[in-house]
Amino acid sequence: MGPHPLDDTFGMGAAVVMLQQSLNPGKHDKTIQFATVRKMRAAFSNAYHATAEGQQAMVMAKDTRKLTVTKCPTYGEFFERFMRGMHKRMGEIVKPDRAVSLAILIEIQSNLERDWDNHPDIREQISREASFYLISFCCALRGEEVPMVDLYGTIKHWEDGGQAEIKHLVVPVLGRFKGETGETYHLLCTIDRTSHGLEPRKWVGRYMQILMSIGIQNGPLFRDVNGGRLRASYFEPQFFHRLSQVQHSNPELLSQDIEVEEEFGISRSFRRGATSEAVNNGVRPDQIDANNRWRKMHQARGSRPTLSMREHYTDVRLTLNHRLMFSRAL
């Protein structure tokens, strides 16, 4: 059984720090959640593998598969059991964002249209806000993904979408995505006007024309005063304000007992609402998957085809009717 070295080879120090951290006050409970505490393990292992000792880890490779052999304490058997036990004892309190219903979004769109008519001096802000909500919903995007929409690509394919047999809006998303490596872009499509009256093409067109009128044609679509990409959190106070308006004017759509800022979130509310409404309106699972195809590795099974944006759009048009089934039903 020994003698063991007088060093912490089991990760006891990291375990103690994690237990201390688990007592910190949380957002939705008295203490933070396990999902927050476990980030400490990743930070420790990253720091360890950056040291001279961590660089000695061996990599066993065959074809495309790799296995790393490391002496990092937080990867050991003891620490694995500690993590399982900690997770079981702490549990998890999950509070997913409440879905935005189609009726609520239609009411928000009506309020935005009224503001557009009554406040011509802030039309850029109004059209930007409306474009964010409608792209989020009609393309079923997470909040942090919407600011990745590219202005140049939107302008490039604007005429194509308007002259097509089925009028639509091309949403070019540019950036780094979960489950994929490198930076690239994906062309998403949404119908110009959904069956229930959402008008993403109309609002994006208004916002785009304002940007072009002041000489802006490149960079992110959702931009700050310096031309940088806006964070999704920028829209959250406005989103809560719109929900509060609906809550007071139409309590049958949104009960006044609901705490808007606690229940809803810009990150998931639109995506959950769009997917739920699509299912309710009879959209088939394969059509929902076609709308979400960009989140998966492409047909090349890991290798990325080097195609121009125009070539990608040609590929999209071949299955356009199938891709638009999702947004048409909303």
What is the predicted pLDDT for the residue at 185?
65
Same domain assignment for residues 82 and 193: no
Same domain assignment for residues 74 and 215: no
1 domain residue, yes or no: no
- Which residue has 């890991």 as its token pair? 302
2 domain residue, yes or no: no
6 domain residue, yes or no: no
172 domain residue, yes or no: yes
170 domain residue, yes or no: yes
Looking at 90, 110, 136, the residue that finishes a domain is 90
Same domain assignment for residues 211 and 64: no
Residues 277, 270: Cα–Cα separation, whole Å: 10
Looking at 30, 60, 90, the residue that finishes a domain is 90
pLDDT over threshold 90, residue 69: no
- Report the number of distinct structural domains present in the chain: 2
Tens digits of residue pLDDT in 228-275: 999 999 999 999 999 999 999 998 998 888 888 888 999 899 999 998
81 domain residue, yes or no: yes
Can you count the helices (H) and strands (E) in the chain? 16, 4
Same domain assignment for residues 38 and 143: no
74: left (phi over 0), alpha (psi -120 to 50) or beta: alpha
Task: Report CA torsion sign: 210, 246, 198, 293.
Answer: positive
Same domain assignment for residues 35 and 132: no
What is the predicted pLDDT for the residue at 82?
94
Determine how many CB atoms are found less than 10 A away from the CB of residue 122. 13
**H or E segment to which residue 174 belongs:** strand 168-175
323 domain residue, yes or no: yes
Same domain assignment for residues 24 and 68: yes
Tens digits of residue pLDDT in 129-150: 999 999 999 998 888 889 999 9
Same domain assignment for residues 60 and 208: no
Residues 201, 170: Cα–Cα separation, whole Å: 9
Q: Which domain holds residue 309?
A: 102-328
Task: Return the CATH number at 297.
Answer: 1.10.443.10
Same domain assignment for residues 258 and 175: yes
What is the predicted pLDDT for the residue at 162?
86
- Which residue has 């070295």 as its token pair? 5
Same domain assignment for residues 274 and 224: yes
5 domain residue, yes or no: no
Phi and psi, residue 62, nearest 5°? -145, 120
